[in-house]
């Protein structure tokens, strides 16, 4: 029976410096990821959105101050199949973590709120929330010349 013995000289100073550098790099990466426009998507839960207050609070979690009541509520039926004309809209929703494909052919309610704090001061801006069975399944913010996701623009 052969026995192998392996020895190594450990330099504690180098190990501590390496661990410190890894910690700094990890912190920098997390900070960069946390500052992206979709950071709120990871922390804002789309579930349990049952009331007007829940919807207003959901939008507030994204940074929006909105009218206390929806200015318009519409019941919509999503298409059974999304054609090419929906490709940009579906990309917008997917980029926020919403998968409208799961809700194809289903009825949703679209709640429209007036946005009171758009960063440019622009008026006439609205936020839409698509809700199905107490869950936000999509949403966007739009003005006269733009449409973007729920994340506050930088």
The 10s digit of each residue's pLDDT in 54-64 is: 999 999 999 99
Confidence of residue 44 (pLDDT cuts 50, 70, 90): confident
Confidence of residue 112 (pLDDT cuts 50, 70, 90): very high
**CA proximity to 44, closest of 63, 22, 26, 17:** 63
Residues 59/113, Cβ–Cβ less than 8 Å: yes
The span from the CA of 151 to the CA of 53, in Å, is: 19
| Range from 4-8, 43-47, 61-65, 119-123 carrying the lowest mean pLDDT | 4-8
pLDDT recorded at residue 27: 36
Mean pLDDT of the chain: 81
Largest pairwise CA distance in the chain: 83
Structure tokens at 61: 């979690």
Q: Cβ contacts of residue 84 below 8 Å, gap of 6+?
A: none
pTM, two decimal places: 0.71
Residues 87/101, Cβ–Cβ less than 8 Å: no
The mean pLDDT of 118-128, rounded to a whole number, is: 95
**CA proximity to 94, closest of 32, 34, 41:** 41
pLDDT recorded at residue 30: 33
């Amino acid at each position: 029976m052969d026995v192998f013995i392996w020895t190594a000289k450990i330099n504690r100073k180098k190990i501590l410096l390496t661990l410190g550098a890894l910690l700094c790099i990890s912190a920098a990466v997390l900070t960069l990821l946390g500052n992206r426009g979709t950071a709120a998507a990871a922390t804002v839960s789309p579930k349990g959105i049952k009331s007007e207050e829940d919807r207003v609070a959901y939008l507030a979690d994204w940074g929006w101050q909105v009218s206390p009541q929806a200015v318009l509520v519409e019941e919509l039926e999503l298409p059974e199949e999304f054609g090419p004309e929906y490709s940009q809209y579906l990309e917008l929703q997917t980029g926020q973590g919403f998968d409208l494909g799961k809700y194809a052919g289903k009825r949703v309610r679209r709640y429209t709120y007036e946005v009171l704090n758009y960063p440019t001061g622009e008026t006439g801006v609205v936020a839409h929330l698509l809700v199905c069975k107490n869950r936000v399944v999509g949403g966007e913010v739009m003005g006269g010349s733009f449409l973007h996701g729920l994340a506050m623009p930088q």
